[in-house]
A and B are shown apart, each in its own frame.
Chain A
Amino acid sequence: MIKVSEDFRRTMWWLHSWAGAGLAGLLFVIFWFGTLSVFDQEIDQWMKPELRITSGDNIALDPIALPQLQALDVAQGSEIMIVRPEQRWPTVDIYYTDRATGEDGFLRLDPHTGAALKQTNSLAATDFLFPMHYSLHASWQNIGYWIVAFAALSMLVLVISGVFIHRKIIEEFFTLRPKKPARRVILDLHTLFGVAALPFYVIMPLSGIMIFATTYFAGPLSLPFAGDLAAAERVLDNGFERPLAGQASTTSLGGIDTFIKRAEDIWRQASGAQGRERSDFVYLHNMHDENAYISVERYYERDGVGMALNHIAFDLKTGEILSLVNPTPVQQVLAWLKGFHFVQFDHWALRWLYFCGGLSGCIMIACGFLLWMNARLRKGAKAPAKVRAARAFTIGTMTGTLCATACFFIANRLLTNAAELAGFDRAALEVWAFFGVWIAAFAHAALRGRAAWKDQLWAIAVLTIAAAALNWITTGDWLMASMSQSLWAVAGMDIVLLTTALTALLTLKAMARQEAGLEKQSGSIGSSQMQPRMSGQAE
């Protein structure tokens, strides 16, 4: 038990209640999309059927990427990035920027044949759900990043104040009274899920803010670099830059795998361990220039939590090492914290634990929000409009977000690449489906009042089952078929969709049981004055 003065506890209570109520909706959205982002690449495999290929960690790039790279007619000084295939991301991806035209291009190659794959035009999880988590897709002046940072900081404040307001935090952790009135059950769930993953709720917002520190502290960080933020970022990321010579080179790109092997051998020798010192990206800089160079980068440790930040740059013509950078000690601590947030390590049990941690955060926030709203409902008989608005906001934020996400998946399975409406292509239409359903969920909650809970829970159940069924119809990969082909990402996604449907149905059943209990209780008391209180409890 933490001994603090009553004054301090009251201040913390006020802070916890109002900061929580004000930001619960935003925090729920950030947590929900963060939870989905734990499996963003797996969701991409579900949404983009061309990614349903089994691949490996050590696929040679020369036979796969070289013919395509040589066919790319990019101007002198152009930049190319190659993403190496691995267990979670099976294809060889090539991104390039043509210096002459300024145009960006992208190729996705089959890791076995090298053939360019037909791409599904969808933002999917890596380009829609994941950015929702950290920027809310609000790009004007980076406003989304600032809103999320404010929410993350408030989350830390909420956690600190939450610890202080609970007198018996250990005792409360072991308390769950499922047969008590809904208000009590919600409070118990809020405390239970709040305490269960408390370290997770501290380190995730903390590390999240650190990832985008260059956005939030652009001014102070660029002070030693005469205001040049890019220079500060280069130092923080161990970046290396070699200027263009301006002279065309006649040397052709002979091979990439030799450089990868040399870099990985150097890292292996330096670490003295037999770990997987595997590179993630290969950059080809200053193409067709005398100063062309290749940079092999190891971004994530894979067999560890942290980010690796190992970069080696070789002269493309002579093979000479131009730069060999390993993280410095303090930089390693920061890289560990960032890696903890990025969840790029190869440990499936831990990945699922992250997913559960994220879900428990969603439940904790939702229960806290419900507690606050129920208290307002009990007091708010005189202000029905405010109560209705608060309830609509709560329902739209929670069940509405889940409905919108399910519709995003359904739109992805229903639309074809040729789909176009009012000038919007398939990717845009999927996003419109998401936001359209989300707005509709808020409007529905405002119109239907308390009944919207049930309606939207039914909608979640139906929509998630429909999404799994549509995956089967459009690709033929139903659950057992995916499992028999070792397409674990697709099978996992279907299982999560069906589990969500089941959870929604069980919640409906629990709500019906609570209401039946309340009606029985109300009937035995026979007091009509109890009714407003009961409806508040049943929320």
Chain B
Amino acid sequence: MIGALLVSYLVASTIVALSAMYLGQLGLAQADGLSFGIMLSIVTLPILGVWLIATKYFLRACLVISSLCGLALVPMSVA
């Protein structure tokens, strides 16, 4: 369960970071971008957590999701 929540947290952080960085560039107010990111990420957390726990391919799912998040987060952190 802790593993699933950690991976979900990584996904949520990625959503927040993406919203904070890029939604403003799409014409949304910065406050809106941040708020949207917070809401979407926190709704995603438990649903993804439960799905990960229920899936038969837990490790594979975690690996794929973590890699995707890493791909999204690393360039942003460097930038």
Contacts and interface: CB of A to CB of B under 8 A. Distances in A.
Given A19-B1, A220-B16, A330-B35, A157 B50 contact: yes
Interface stretch (A230-238, A262-270, A280-288, A459-467): A230-238
Nearest to A10: B54
Size class of the contact patch on chain A: 35 or more
Give the secondary structure class of B's interface.
helix
Given A217-B12, A330-B28, A236 B49 contact: no
A115 B68 CA distance: 62
Contacts of A15: 1, 50, 53
Interface residues of B, number: 34
Interface in B12-60: 12-14, 16-17, 20-21, 24, 28-39, 41-43, 45-47, 49-50, 53-54
A329 interface: yes
B46 A156 contact: yes
Contacts of B31: 235-236, 238, 327-328, 330-331
B71 interface: no
Interface string A219-245: 111011000000010011010000000
B38 A334 contact: yes
A352 interface: no
Contact of B35 (A161, A219, A331): A331
Contacts of A217: 12-13, 16, 37-38, 41
Contacts, number: 102
B63 interface: no
A227 to B, nearest CB: 10
A174 interface: no
B38 A210 contact: yes
Contacts of A334: 35, 38-39
Give the secondary structure class of A's interface.
helix
A328 B36 CA distance: 11
A160 interface: yes
B23 to A, nearest CB: 9
A150 interface: yes
Contacts of B20: 220-221, 223-224, 232
A272 B70 CA distance: 48
Contact of B1 (A157, A224, A327, A330): A157
Contacts of B30: 224, 235
Residue of A220, A238, A327 with most partner-chain B CB within 10 A? A220
Contact of B47 (A150, A160, A219, A333): A160
A206 B34 contact: no
B61 interface: no
Nearest to B45: A153
A236 B47 contact: no
Interface string A271-306: 000000000000000000000000000000000000
A181 B23 CA distance: 57
Contacts of A331: 29, 31-32, 35
B5 interface: yes
A437 to B, nearest CB: 32
B37 to A, nearest CB: 7
A333 B21 contact: no
B16 A161 contact: no
Contacts of A19: 1
Interface of A: 8, 11-12, 15, 18-19, 150, 153-154, 156-157, 160-161, 206, 209-210, 213, 217, 219-221, 223-224, 232, 235-236, 238, 327-331, 333-334, 337
Interface of B: 1, 5, 12-14, 16-17, 20-21, 24, 28-39, 41-43, 45-47, 49-50, 53-54, 76-77
9 contacts: A153-B49, A156-B45, A160-B47, A217-B16, A217-B37, A217-B38, A330-B28, A330-B33, A331-B35
Given A217-B12, A220-B37, A330-B31, 7 more contacts: A206-B43, A217-B41, A224-B21, A224-B24, A224-B30, A328-B29, A328-B35
